[in-house]
Structure 1
């Protein structure tokens, strides 16, 4: 299927002079659901890879909750969720590789998917550092919010709600920032020999020009994460591969390519 791409307009992103911005397609509001359908097809074609990476994604939040119980710091739950969302895009590189191999008509292999993070390694690890800085900064903000909680108050909803609202509001801001910088950055770095600034600005520009579809996509991501936590992380075994494969399809459907892709 052929796509028409936007002529990238002049704005603060494209005129920044930091790096070039790869043009993007104007998305429809229904496109995120198409990405999920394509992801289900990938899950059926690579069930073993799906279960292995799903188990890994289930272990990460389990370990986070274990640390919460170990420290007894109940207000770390919200920052822990955000941290999980920060780490997720980088860990999903193996899933992106599986979808990419299927798109090319190849048989995916674990070794090939593990090596996915070595493609464009310098910029890929640079992106990991950016995510780590965001994570550390958010944890420091969360620590400050926790420090403001008076020790003499009871741990009741009535006493906690001002801090829960504040923490949630800050978490939403960080999540929006995360969406802008990570929506397409990792897939771009995996497939293209571009610098980190180009990948980041391309992702920011694509999200900015497709606010409503990407807002819906963000809502789907949030719902998947919530469902995973409600099921005590067991749901992540299937939900996170679904999200990883769908993210790859979101990338190849959104960012301009030199030749037509096979899946969309």
Structure 2
């Protein structure tokens, strides 16, 4: 029964929340509301989000010392795959602010007591698997073009990537494969975590609802994906420190995007 709860939710049935059509203006409005949430309680983000860029810096340092310079860019790009997990506490803060409840930072941890936490962990595990698969794919692409030998230095590698046909192939193929991974994550989890936090519907329903949301609003979801990609890129430029601002804004905005896309439960 416990495994079924993870898949279908507490009542044992597969829920199919109603999906609404949204406009590009709704996407921008969700981003604006996310920024409003950020400015309302900025002290929370030191606790919630600085961990994210710190871990990124540690990983970059580790890979550089481990003769894996070619994986620095895939690591930074791959953070977008794990972003929905890092933002779970932010969804809770936005949910509480929406309801007029106390939004102290301690409440961000209350997601651990959610009845849907098994399903949340299951979807989170899926994202971790996607991240690992992306790293293996990135390494395989590099080895297919350069062989088993690691780059001599970061500057030599950058020069080779930017100014040789081999490097251009790495850019094109690597980014094309990365786009596929990002698209899969967008389609399967764009509103999965906020939905699970709001309703204990199970992992299957959360993923299925995300897919239906993208299918019903393809242009708007592509716009959202571009916003996420561009802002994460901007936040990553200053040694990932900018993610301490970008991540909470996107996290809050994702909650509001969920509210616009998924119709509320009708009271019977």
Query: TM-score band (shorter)?
Result: 0.7 to 0.9
What is the RMSD of the two structures over their aligned residues, measured on CA atoms? 2.1
Corresponding position of 1:125: 121
Report the CA distance between 1:19 and its aligned residue.
4.0
| Structure 1: runs of 5+ lacking an equivalent | 1-17
Range 102-111 or range 211-220, more displaced: 102-111
Instruction: Give the CA deviation at 1:74.
Output: 2.5
Q: Which of these residues, 238, 241, 244, is aligned with residue 245 of structure 2?
A: 238
Q: Could you tell me which of 51, 54, 59 is aligned with 2:49?
A: 54
1:141 equivalent to 2:123? Answer no
Across the two proteins, how many residue pairs are aligned to each other?
243
Instruction: Kindly state the Cα deviation for residue 100 of structure 1 after the two structures are TM-superposed.
Output: 0.7
Q: Deviations over 1:120-143 (max 9, x none)?
A: 111111111111221222222122
- Deviating more after overlay: 82-91 vs 95-104: 82-91
Q: Which residue of 2 aligns with 1:221?
A: 228
Aligned partners of 1:96 and 1:244 also within 8 Å:
yes
SS of the aligned residue for 2:43 comes to: helix
Determine the structure 2 residue equivalent to 1:196: 203
Please give the alpha-carbon distance, in whole angstroms, between the structure 2 residues aligned to 1:44 and 1:84: 24
Deviations 1:214-259 (A, max 9, x none): 1111010001111011122221121111111001100111111125
2:182 pairs, out of 167, 175, 184, with 175
Query: Is contact 1:54-1:236 (8 Å) kept?
Result: yes
Instruction: Name the structure 2 match of 1:14.
Output: none
Task: Tell me what 2:259 maps to.
Answer: 252
CA distance in 2, matches of 1:61, 1:225: 13
Residue 80 and residue 30 in structure 1: after superposition, are their counterparts in 2 closer, same or farther (change >3 A)? same
Q: Mark the runs of 5 or more structure 2 residues left unpaired by the alignment.
A: 1-12
Aligned position for 1:115: 110
Cα distance in 2 for residues equivalent to 1:259 and 1:78? 46
Match of 1:160 among 160, 167, 177: 167
Mapped contact 1:93–1:117 kept (Cα < 8 A): no
Aligned to 1:3: none
Greater alpha carbon shift after TM alignment, 57-66 vs 145-154: 145-154
CA distance in 1, matches of 2:109, 2:190: 21
Q: Secondary structure at the match of 2:239?
A: coil
Is the CA contact 2:111–2:117 (under 8 Å) kept in the aligned structure 1?
no
Whole-angstrom CA distance in 1 between matches of 2:113 and 2:81: 19
TM-score, normalised via structure 1 length: 0.85
Counterpart Cα distance in 2 of 1:178 and 1:251: 16
Asked if the contact 2:15/2:201 (under 8 Å) is kept, the reply is: no
1:41 aligns with 2:36: yes
